[in-house]
Structure 1
Amino acid sequence: MPTALVTGASRGIGRAIARRLAATHDIVAVARSGDELQALADEIAREGGRCRAIPLDVTDAGAVHAALDGLEVDVLVNNAGIGVLKPFLELTPDEWRRMVDVNFNALFHVTRAVLPGMVAREAGHVVIIGSIAGRSAFVGGTCYAATKHAVMGFAESLMLEVRDAGVKVSVVSPGSVATDFSPPRARDVAWQLLPEDVAESVAHLVATPPGVLVHRLEVRALSPKRPRG
């Protein structure tokens, strides 16, 4: 069975992606929380799948190198991300640095660890969870939106570099998703996407025929005026 590595797999979108791909892949689940990863691995095992949990801070280049270099994976889902959404003058240097490290620099560390094997085998799929903020702007998004714009540039450039080696690069850009990613708002959010909706989109990309590449996929809830049916 092919192997899929999912970062930020302990909760939210990453957890949903790991559970969805476990039907067709052995899972390597990466996140900082060892307890939550083990709970995910146990859940996947109860459903008949296989999941290896690797507690890891993806912003730590040395730790990523030690844990992932040379690991043979068929699918890499770069999902780990954080968002501190506030006006620029309220952002602290630590908040700025952390978002850039998790949302962008970690893409280099993790992808650099497993991509050489994909290129050598002339097969593989790198999937990156972006955001519609990667092509738009909003108040409070000076850093977050900037990281997601950077993700788009990274992904398209990488796609052009490795496509002739048989390696696919795709970006899934969700709209608002009902997770604990950002603080709850007073307004109704019953219309938002579920993590499972994003996971289904990733599964669709991974299942495309070998000669077909869907490079960008934007996923939105139908309407903020219509609750999910």
Structure 2
Amino acid sequence: MTNSSPRPVALVTGASRGIGQAIAQRLAATHDLVLVARHADLLAAVARACEAAGATVQTLALDLRDGVAAAAALSGLQVDVLVNNAGVAVLKPFLDMTAEEWNRQVDVNVNALYHVTRAVLPGMVQRGRGHVCIIGSTAGRNTFVGGTCYTGTKHFVMGFAESLMLEVRDAGIGVSVITPGSVATELFPEGTNTAWMLEPENIADAVAFAVTAPPHMLVHRLEVRPLSPKRPRSSF
């Protein structure tokens, strides 16, 4: 993909729903988009909404656990902003967690982060500009029962992001990690009270703030929380 447009190009993973969908639609006003997720039909619906907001959109139906497929599809793309949003969570006690559930979280939350970033970062370095934004979690600095794997992967995100930032900042590349608290998405079981939680659009606003900061300024870590679990959003 060659960017002949004056608009910067943002690649968003996990863009078919939830936080990724909100990020895509938030950036559509200012960026052309490459949207990545597993389900082509869901991606197509998000793409239509983004095109209506003025973006040129390319969709890629990919399972990012497949490093070979990710490299083949993403290497060579001229991407100005990479938003590593794709993630999964299986929240249950360690002794109840299957090997498949463990490996799926590591593959999506950790290994896919490598596959995607490794594919597009060389182009950013070559051009001397770019921004890598990763959606982390407050679970990246705390723990909870049932989070042995999930919190482990989010702790990884924090270490990865800071190390990468130190490696590439002199090449003109910014690295940000957005760490939300509870967000009302499909992560939570049916019946969970989500009325007090952040909305996906709040995280999209945080991403937009980080990636549109002045070139000399880096928003490296940005934590976003619901104000209070005792007050629904509608009370404000």
- Sort the TM-score into its range (normalised by shorter chain): over 0.9
Matched, 1:34 2:66: no
Q: Is the 8 A contact 1:83 1:182 kept in 2?
A: no
Among 107, 112, 124, the residue aligned to 2:113: 107
Residue 70 of structure 1 deviates from its aligned partner by 1.1
* Structure 2: distance between partners of 1:47 and 1:204: 18
Matched, 1:79 2:85: yes
Structure 2 residue identity aligned to 1:154: F
Cα deviation 1:27-65 (Å, max 9, x = unaligned): 100000000001111111223322111101111001001
**Normalising by structure 1, what TM-score?**
0.98
Residue 181 of structure 1 deviates from its aligned partner by 1.9
* Structure 2: distance between partners of 1:12 and 1:178: 9
Give the secondary-structure state (helix, strand or coil) at the position aligned to 1:170: strand
Match of 1:133 in 2: 139
Match of 1:196 in 2: 201
Matched, 1:206 2:173: no
Q: Is the 8 A contact 1:7 1:30 kept in 2?
A: yes
Give the secondary-structure state (helix, strand or coil) at the position aligned to 2:132: strand
Matched, 1:117 2:128: no
Give the secondary-structure state (helix, strand or coil) at the position aligned to 1:172: strand
Match of 1:45 in 2: 51
* Structure 2: distance between partners of 1:45 and 1:164: 34
Match of 2:167 in 1: 161
Residue 23 of structure 1 deviates from its aligned partner by 0.6
**Normalising by structure 2, what TM-score?**
0.95
Among 172, 180, 183, the residue aligned to 1:177: 183
Q: Is the 8 A contact 2:28 2:51 kept in 1?
A: no
How many residue pairs were aligned? 228
* Structure 2: distance between partners of 1:210 and 1:49: 22
Structure 1 stretches of 4+ with a deviation exceeding 4 A read none
Q: Is the 8 A contact 2:11 2:35 kept in 1?
A: yes
* Structure 2: distance between partners of 1:42 and 1:189: 28
Residue 185 of structure 1 deviates from its aligned partner by 4.0
Q: Is the 8 A contact 2:34 2:57 kept in 1?
A: yes
Among 202, 215, 226, the residue aligned to 2:231: 226
Match of 2:4 in 1: none
* Structure 2: distance between partners of 1:84 and 1:118: 33
Matched, 1:95 2:101: yes
Comparing 50-59 with 128-137, which one deviates more in the overlay? 50-59
Unpaired stretches in structure 2, ≥5 consecutive residues:
1-6
